[in-house]
Copies of this chain bind each other. A is one copy, B any other.
Amino acid sequence: MRYAPDHKQATRERILEAAGRLFRREGFGGSGITAIMKEAGLTHGGFYAHFDDKEELLAAAIAWALSEENSHRSVGLEHLGGLEYVIAVCDRYLSLEHLEAIENGCPAPALMSELSRMGHKPREVFEEACRGWRDEIESHLDPDQHAVALGLVAACMGGLTLARSINDTQLREQVLASTRTLIRQSLADSNDRSAS
């Protein structure tokens, strides 16, 4: 081995991070390979030493960004128990801060629509991340509340994506607030039922 063993790996990760940022900002179709490599401080030609084609990069970048998102999602919330934890995670997801953090936030809202037209691999990566999120939520809920876990994921993603798709900043906040309320009411209901 002529170069330091992890030199190439480090470059690959730099490309992955750059692609993650660009995909969230401009979408998959809107991010050219030249722009991605430039964002990573490289020229476009070197791209194919790291990935077979653009779709392979997409799959890898989604996996990377989703695992980052997964590890950031609940930081500082670990002390909360059960239902409170779940509500806090959803509230944070549906916050104004997250609304504005397009480049560093969850990649799902920016990519979901395009993902449904994408090949098998990127969708598989996304699917696996969704299962992970569902399982994590379920692990904090009573068994009789497990049925809404995927719905919570859907509502969070839908609320953030919808809020980002409209102009009026007041209506944006109302979308976020209303989705938070919906989630709270839904969980409060199952809570009441299991308590009674």
Which residues from chain A sit less than 8 Å from chain B, CB to CB?
25-27, 29-30, 102, 108-117, 120, 123-124, 126-127, 130-131, 147-159, 161-168, 171, 174-175, 177-183, 185-190, 192
Q: Name 5 A/B residue pairs within 8 A (Cβ), A-sorted.
A: A112-B112, A150-B162, A151-B159, A154-B163, A189-B189
Interface of A is mostly: helix
Max count, chain B CB within 10 A of own CB: residue among A155, A156, A168, A187? A155
Please give, as numbers and ranges, the residues of chain B lying within 8 Å of A163 by CB-CB distance. Answer: 154
Q: Is the CB of B123 within 8 A of A166?
A: yes
Q: Is the CB of B158 within 8 A of A161?
A: yes
Please give, as numbers and ranges, the residues of chain B lying within 8 Å of A120 by CB-CB distance. Answer: 167
**With A and B bound together, what is the CA distance between A103 and B113 in angstroms?**
14
Residue from B112, B124, B159 within 8 A of A154 (CB atoms): B159
**With A and B bound together, what is the CA distance between A185 and B153 in angstroms?**
15
Q: Is the CB of A115 within 8 A of B178?
A: no
**A131 and B167 in contact (CB under 8 A), knowing A117-B26, A162-B157?**
no
Residue from B25, B113, B153 within 8 A of A111 (CB atoms): B113
Q: Is the CB of B127 within 8 A of A161?
A: no
A172 to chain B, nearest CB (A): 9
A75 to chain B, nearest CB (A): 23
Please give, as numbers and ranges, the residues of chain B lying within 8 Å of A30 by CB-CB distance. Answer: 29, 117
Nearest 3 Cβ contacts at the A-B interface: A158-B158, A151-B182, A189-B189
Q: Is the CB of B148 within 8 A of A185?
A: yes
The closest CB in chain B to the CB of A152 belongs to: B182
**A113 and B27 in contact (CB under 8 A), knowing A158-B159, A192-B189?**
yes
The closest CB in chain B to the CB of A156 belongs to: B158
The closest CB in chain B to the CB of A174 belongs to: B150
**With A and B bound together, what is the CA distance between A154 and B180 in angstroms?**
10
**A115 and B159 in contact (CB under 8 A), knowing A150-B179, A186-B186, A192-B189?**
no
